Amino acid sequence: MYYKIYDNKKEEWVLLIHGLGGSINTWKYQIKDLESFNVIAVDLEGHGLSEIERGPHLLSRSADEINRILEVEKIDKVHIISLSLGTLVAMEFVKSYTEKVRSIVLAGFVLNMNFGYKSLLALLEGIKYIVPKKLFYPAFANIMMPCKNHKKSRDIFIRESVKMKSLAFRMWLSELFKAQYKLKGYIRAIRDNNIPVFLISGKQDYMFVNSVKRTHKKIGASSLFLIEKCGHVCSIEKHEIFDELVVSFLGGLSLPKVAGTKAGAAI
């Protein structure tokens, strides 16, 4: 697993875990605004400069890889900022290495889907070997990010996903499907260890926004913010708002009132 360190000579560390089709470069806006922390960012298997290994347990394997990186770099604890697919890896890491997590930001959380979307995911899981790559990726992107203002995020996803090997895309899509049934264990690890959680979602993240709301209620002691006129990849589409929210959360401040959001969306 390839990783990169941004050493700002601070005491605390932030770990960045990107989404499907992303890479360390996906976090360019956040890396700039997280100057109050040391930052470590990873390329998940099959993304960026990381290889993909054929075999089972991709999710737990990724959590173990991240743990090894932290051990090599002698990093005891991290705040985790995760996006989309990265939220699965983040939750798996929390469950396996709870003692190493200070807090967790889940942006575009992709678990706890309703039956309809689970069925859609099952359909995508079934046809991923049949539909050609050049058709499947754009179709998947348009399902997740259908609006005009999602175009930048959608284009980035399609461009980066096309760079991925088909094996990597298919393996991660399978993990997304299988992980839908692991939520209870993840939430138990968070609640039993009182880990601070901040869920951020675009209000137009139609495939997942209700899942985010349900998860917030299940966790209980967590924070939630819904960004107006924003889709799935809120860290890119509304990066200024996203960064302000995250930095405030990590700094232990109350959630700010930010232009373009409703104060009532902060819970």
- pLDDT, residue 73, reads 97
d(CA 186, CA 172): 18
d(CA 143, CA 120): 10
- pLDDT, residue 266, reads 41
CB atoms within 10 A of CB 250: 20
- First vs last Cα of the chain: how many Å apart? 36
d(CA 106, CA 5): 21
- pLDDT, residue 126, reads 61
pTM of this structure? 0.87
Q: Is 52 exposed, middle or buried (0-12, 13-18, 19+ CB in 10 A)?
A: middle
217: Cβ contacts below 8 Å, ≥ 6 apart = none
pLDDT averaged over 10-residue windows placed end to end, the chain, 267 residues: 96 95 91 96 94 90 97 97 95 96 94 59 60 69 76 77 78 81 90 94 89 90 92 92 95 53 39
- pLDDT, residue 261, reads 43
Instruction: Assess contact for 14 and 40: CB atoms under 8 A.
Output: yes
**Domains contained in the chain, CATH given:** 3-265 (3.40.50.1820)
Nearest to 99 by CA among 82, 78, 81: 78
Instruction: Assess contact for 179 and 204: CB atoms under 8 A.
Output: no
* Consecutive H or E run containing 168: helix 166-179
- pLDDT, residue 149, reads 80
- pLDDT, residue 267, reads 34
